[in-house]
Amino acid sequence: MGVLDVGSNTVHLLIVDAHAGAAPIPAMSQKYELRLAEQLKDDGDLKKSSIKSLIEVLNECNKFIVDHDCDELLAFATSALRESKNSEAILEQIKNETGIDLQVLDGEHEAILTFLAVRRWFGWSSGRLLVADIGGGSLEVAIGPDEYPELATSTPLGAGRLTREFFTSEIPSANEIKQLRNYVKKTLETDFSGLLKSEFDHAVGTSKTFRQLARIGGAAPASEGQRVQRELKFSSVSNWVPKIAQMNYAQRAQLPGVSAGRAEQLLAGAIVAQETMEFLKLDTLEICPWALREGIILRRLDWFADDAE
């Protein structure tokens, strides 16, 4: 089974060996950094050059899909295409030129499917879960005791988006950082106030930003495997934010777990993480290696199981 994720920063093709009742086992992973969210014009349309690059990448992905004899492809897009005013035309062009039927997920469904992946990873012993995910374009938080969350909220507090909107240089001014922090605080108070009434037993962070921050704070590297427990402490984030704020992109890329492609948006992501953890009164987030892509795979496998019955 292939999973094709067209995100704000990257296009990621993940091919897995999967069947109902088993954990999906990665067979191949290929990433392309297109930064689509940065290619939206002032009128809201995605640039023609970016559409062309995306189609070229998708055609290359098709070759991997054929080479690995995929039985099925699950292809989806998140905030970059979701917010493009010409998204319908782009999706039609993609289908005509690549044969890929790309589905656009809304933020709530991103939160729901990510929550499912985290629930399956940690199991029922985790009790009521809180799951937070910082992407390039949005922040999702979901809470609940089951596989389907009671509350699932998405807001445009993505690390890439905020970097573009608030910072004008590699080392932003104190005023720019203050403006960003105030904006994040106000957005959390407006969009996530309902979460404060919900109790939870286990708080989890997933996806790239939280994993990077945990690694910077001393968590085990990816080479030690998925099953090693990793945590992100609020005290660690608070300690690192002012340090990161004084680093240029090259210096950030020297930090453990931070790639050159992600260095630019590291500071904004760290501020969102810090403010979110403070707002939700989280001292610690445990890091989950599974996220949206795994959630989509698991949901599809559930459908296979239901059909078999």
pLDDT digits (tens, 9 = 90+) for 101-134: 999 999 999 999 999 999 999 999 999 999 999 9
Query: Does 305 score more than 80 pLDDT?
Result: no
What are the beta bridge partners of residue 287?
Answer: 205
CATH of the domain spanning 2-104: 3.30.420.40
Q: Checking phi first, is residue 132 left (phi over 0); if not, alpha (psi -120 to 50) or beta?
A: beta
- The CB density around residue 57, as the number of other CB atoms within 10 Å, is 21
Q: What is the mean pLDDT of the chain?
A: 95
Say which CATH architecture domain 107-293 belongs to: 2-Layer Sandwich (3.30)
Q: What is the mean pLDDT of residues 260-279?
A: 97
Q: What is the mean pLDDT of residues 25-31?
A: 94
Angle at 77 between CA 114 and CA 194, to 5 degrees: 45
The reported pLDDT for the residue numbered 41 is 83
* Residue 75 and residue 100 in contact, taking contact as beta carbons nearer than 8 Å: yes
Query: Does 58 score more than 70 pLDDT?
Result: yes
Residues 65-83: tens digit of each pLDDT: 999 999 999 999 998 899 8
Residues 202-234: tens digit of each pLDDT: 999 999 999 999 999 999 999 999 999 999 999
Task: Specify the DSSP class assigned to residue 257.
Answer: T
- pLDDT over 70 for what percent of the chain? 98
Q: What is the mean pLDDT of residues 23-37?
A: 92
Say what the pTM is: 0.94
Residues 161-179: tens digit of each pLDDT: 999 999 999 999 999 999 9
The full set of domain ranges for the chain reads 2-104, 107-293
2-104 and 107-293 share one fold? yes
